Amino acid sequence: MSAVPRWALLSAGGAPLFLIGGWTLAQAAQPDGFDPVRQTISALAATGADDRWVMTVGLAGLGLCHLLTALGLVTAAPVGRGLLALGGLATLVLVAFPQRPDGSTTHGVAAAVAFGALACWPALAVPRRAGRFPGPLQRESPTGSTPGATARRAALAGSAVLLGLLGWFAVEFFSDGARIGLTERLLAAAEAVVPLLAVLAALSCRSRSGATAPR
């Protein structure tokens, strides 16, 4: 089995840093009336926003990090990696087509694709064949479950949480609720952290495999 390169840890760790660091700095540059609970992340990079370049760099860095992580996460199933890469690419598209006062269909579609792909990819990232897991990790645990089965359950649970957050954000967005910005930030932050957890899990499996391999 090919090993996940350690540089994937840098790209996966960079995603939440670019996103959360970007909106933190960009919010500080906005006028006093800016409300992060009500207003979206895209508003910070929108045409006419103060220092919009800060959030633009943050979102561009986020998209690039997702693309690099998808490239490096070689232990994941191709469909899952493809959706992670699609999420990164869609993020770059919404950066190229920022939110405008009169609306932007391309921006909205790109945001929907990015959120959807990044919510679904964990559920499809765990390989179905147990052989994709390294030697000793194929053995059953004392409870009778294999690491592959445990990883699949964790991935499904992760996607369920992300889809729940996506649904909450959608309700707020389409009903013009008072917590659009808050729900979007919770969703975006969670989606940015999940690839980091996946890379850490893959590297942990690699370390345990090496530690238990015959000398």
CB-neighbour burial class of residue 85 (10 A; exposed 0-12, middle 13-18, buried 19+): buried
pTM, 2 dp = 0.87
d(Cα 98, Cα 44) in Å, to the nearest integer? 10
- The closest of 172, 188, 195, 146 to 13, measured between CA atoms, is 195
d(Cα 181, Cα 199) in Å, to the nearest integer? 28
Task: State residue 129's pLDDT score.
Answer: 62
| Domain extents in the chain | 7-133+144-206
Which residues touch 176 (CB under 8 Å, ≥6 apart)?
none
| Separation in Å, CA 70 to CA 125, 127, 142, 209 | 10, 15, 33, 22
Task: State residue 158's pLDDT score.
Answer: 95
d(Cα 130, Cα 139) in Å, to the nearest integer? 10
Mapped onto helix, strand or coil, the DSSP state of residue 2 is coil
**81-103 confidence digits (pLDDT tens):** 999 999 999 999 999 999 998 88
Task: State residue 3's pLDDT score.
Answer: 85
d(Cα 4, Cα 69) in Å, to the nearest integer? 10
- Average pLDDT estimate for 179-196: 98
